[in-house]
Amino acid sequence: MKPYQPNEILIEQGEENAVVVQRALARLPHVPVRMVEKGWERGEFPLAGRDQFAAGKKRLLFTRQRSTFLEHCPAGTSGLVCCNYLVVSLVSNCPMDCSYCFLQEYLANNPTLKVYTNVGDLLQQVATATDRHPSQHFRIGTGELSDSLALDPVLGFSADLVPFFAERKNVLLELKTKTDCVEGLLSLDPQERVVVSWSMTPSVIVDNEEHQTASFVARLAAAQRVQAAGYKLGFHFDPLIEYPDWEHGYYDTISQIFSAIDSQRVAWVSLGSLRMTPALRHTVQRRFPRTRVLSGEQVPCADGKWRTFQALRVKMYRTILGWLKDAAPHVPHYMCMETAAVWDKVLGYTPSCDKDVARTLTGPHLQTEGMHTT
Interacting residues toward another protein by CB under 8 A = 243-244, 285, 289-292, 294-295, 297, 299-302, 307, 309-312, 314-315, 341, 345
Least separation in angstroms between residue 302's CB and another protein is: 7
Least separation in angstroms between residue 307's CB and another protein is: 8
Least separation in angstroms between residue 339's CB and another protein is: 8
β-pairing, 97-98 vs 210-211, is antiparallel
Least separation in angstroms between residue 294's CB and another protein is: 6
Nearer to another protein, 81 or 195 (CB): 81
Nearer to another protein, 30 or 290 (CB): 290
Query: How remote is the C-alpha of 203 from its chain's centroid?
Result: 19
Nearer to another protein, 208 or 212 (CB): 208
Nearer to another protein, 32 or 300 (CB): 300
Least separation in angstroms between residue 333's CB and another protein is: 21
Least separation in angstroms between residue 134's CB and another protein is: 41
Q: Are 196 and 233 in contact (CB under 8 A)?
A: yes
Cβ neighbors of 47 (< 8 A, separation 6 or more) are: 55, 56, 59, 111
Return the C-alpha torsion angle 105, 111, 116, 117, nearest 10.
170
Distance, in Å, from the CA atom of 263 to the CA atom of 257, rounded to the nearest integer, reads 9
C-alpha radius of gyration, the chain, whole number? 20
Distance, in Å, from the CA atom of 317 to the CA atom of 311, rounded to the nearest integer, reads 10
Q: Are 284 and 54 in contact (CB under 8 A)?
A: no
Nearer to another protein, 195 or 346 (CB): 346
Least separation in angstroms between residue 275's CB and another protein is: 12
Nearer to another protein, 317 or 334 (CB): 317
Beta bridge partners of 141: 87, 174
Distance, in Å, from the CA atom of 57 to the CA atom of 73, rounded to the nearest integer, reads 23
- Please report the DSSP string for 59-76 in residue order: EEEEE---S-S-EE-TT-
Helix (H, G, I), strand (E, B) or coil at 211: strand
Nearer to another protein, 151 or 284 (CB): 284
